[in-house]
Structure 1
């Protein structure tokens, strides 16, 4: 059934994919940079809940439909690109404050809890990861149990990975006091977000 070898293989896969740049992590870093870890928590928790739910939905419902109607996958792909382009624009255009100034009102982060939950459905890297888990890391003889087990393990891995990127963003902010450099960082995060999507699509 489910053993240590299966768990180790899944953990290695999630380490290789979950901690590398992608929309979830880059957005977390951008929010952590601009607003701090606490303001990034809604995004972190949204991803932590959203990805396992997406994994279960794909495993039980969508994969059979996509096998039958390949055009459904193409449609979802184009919607994904459009949404991520919008997120990249929001990151690039995030308001920049002088760190030395006393701002009366801090701009809101670009992602809320529910936006981050829904982001998984238009995140090409999340799709690739979920489909890989469903097709490679489930056990055919114990499909349901292994799928639920993978979703459970993913909760902890996703939370740790996205949190790390948010903390990294906050750490970088402490080293940067120039608004011009902050704007450049936002542009860089937006560009990396676009590149990460392009690498998954082409």
Structure 2
């Protein structure tokens, strides 16, 4: 297997698997449609790519010297997941013109990646596996491959949400769907606390 294919396989496995960013994309796609969800998809992809690039350029060394910062990021990520779960669980599920809940923004997507321990682990593992010697050309190649695959992976979750949206034709179903997504986010947060 070529190095490029190996990088792509790693990026796909890490990006397409369920996680907080993909759960939010699924919910956004169901509630707002694919087009409106692309801001979140773009923000999450840019946020992750920037994180990957900075870790490759040495951010992980800085965090090794300040372990308290790692803990702050971890706790902040869990708190952000719980906040998003609360927002979903408390939504009344009302549809139509009176519902002014905006789709997740570009900034929400990027912030969610930076507070997502899964993103940090994928970045550190990927850099260790593919750019361990610190070759800048390989870092840029890996970041570019990851950008494309990450975007398509998160977008596929938003698309899946838009496909199932026609099943969410009444407030009771929307509330149930939102509460299932909220439970998944809480489960992700608890896993991260216990890991």
TM-score for the superposition, normalised by structure 2: 0.90
- Residues 30, 163 of structure 2: 8 Å contact kept: yes
Structure 1 counterpart of 2:105, from 98, 105, 112: 112
Deviations 1:108-155 (A, max 9, x none): 335211221222110111111111112122141x52111111111111
Please name the residue that 2:128 is paired with: 135
Corresponding residue of 2:191: 199
The Cα shift of 1:161 comes to: 0.6
Q: Which of residues 43, 46, 50 is equivalent to 2:47?
A: 50
Distance 2:118 2:89 in 1: 20
In structure 2, the partner of 1:188 is 180
Deviations 1:155-196 (A, max 9, x none): 111111111101111111112323212111101111112223
Q: Within the alignment, does 1:70 sit opposite 2:45 as a pair?
A: no
Match of 1:122 among 99, 102, 115: 115
Of the three residues 6, 13, 30, the one matched with 1:16 is 13
- 1:146 maps to 138
Find the counterpart in structure 2 of residue 86 from structure 1.
83
CA shift at 1:67, angstroms? 2.3
The yes-or-no answer on 1:175 pairing with 2:167 is yes
Output the TM-score relative to the length of structure 1: 0.87
CA RMSD after TM alignment: 1.8
Counterpart CA distance in 2 for 1:17 and 1:198 is 20
Contact persistence 1:125–1:197 (CA under 8 A) = no
Are the structure 2 counterparts of residues 181 and 145 from structure 1 closer, same or farther at C-alpha, using a change threshold of 3 Å? Answer: same
Number of equivalent positions? 194
